[in-house]
Amino acid sequence: MATAGMILFSSCLKQSIPDAMLGSKNSNGQGSTATLSYEINSNPVNITVDDADNQGSNTNYILGCSKNPGYYNLDAVSSTGEFTFSFYTDSLTVGNYIYTGAYGPMFFTGYNGTNEYAYAPSDSMSFNITSYNNGHISGNFSGVLTPMIAAGNPYNTYGTASSVSITNGSFKNVPVFY
């Protein structure tokens, strides 16, 4: 009977399986803090989300990465706009992911009302995942993009090729939603 009591009480001290899979809790009982920061033409953008694992559904979050058929999408929303990067893989792993303008126009960020694309052949975005642990990714990124001046049908109008610089990009503890 003493053995059964010890097992019962010790099991109450452990995290639930879902909590353990999502990562550790802080002193307030919340999940990890996720961050994404970068400079766009030397203007800093910083996004921080406390308790990032509990932002709601995988389609309604401030900072996260969602699995879709054939790709993963890292998305972030801030007061200055939005940011997105698609990892075209069925199995997200540590490594470098690059998208170039040679693949065709691809939106990456909206900053203060201007959308920035990999459009020109010299444009590219490079994301390096350095860590993928407990359902969270961390790493760094940089790129060179072209602003879209006006949306049009059937063609958009773009500004000066490769005139937008994304530097000092980093992301930490971004949850991956499945």
Q: Look at residue 153 in the predicted model and tell me its pLDDT.
A: 86
Q: Is 12 helix (H, G, I), strand (E, B) or coil?
A: helix
- What does the alpha-carbon distance between residue 129 and residue 139 come to, in Å, rounded to a whole number? 4
Q: Look at residue 30 in the predicted model and tell me its pLDDT.
A: 60
Structural domain spans, the chain: 28-177
Q: Look at residue 60 in the predicted model and tell me its pLDDT.
A: 75
Residues (pLDDT < 50) of the chain are: 1-29
Full-model pTM: 0.81
Pairing of strands 136-150, 157-158: antiparallel
Q: Look at residue 21 in the predicted model and tell me its pLDDT.
A: 42
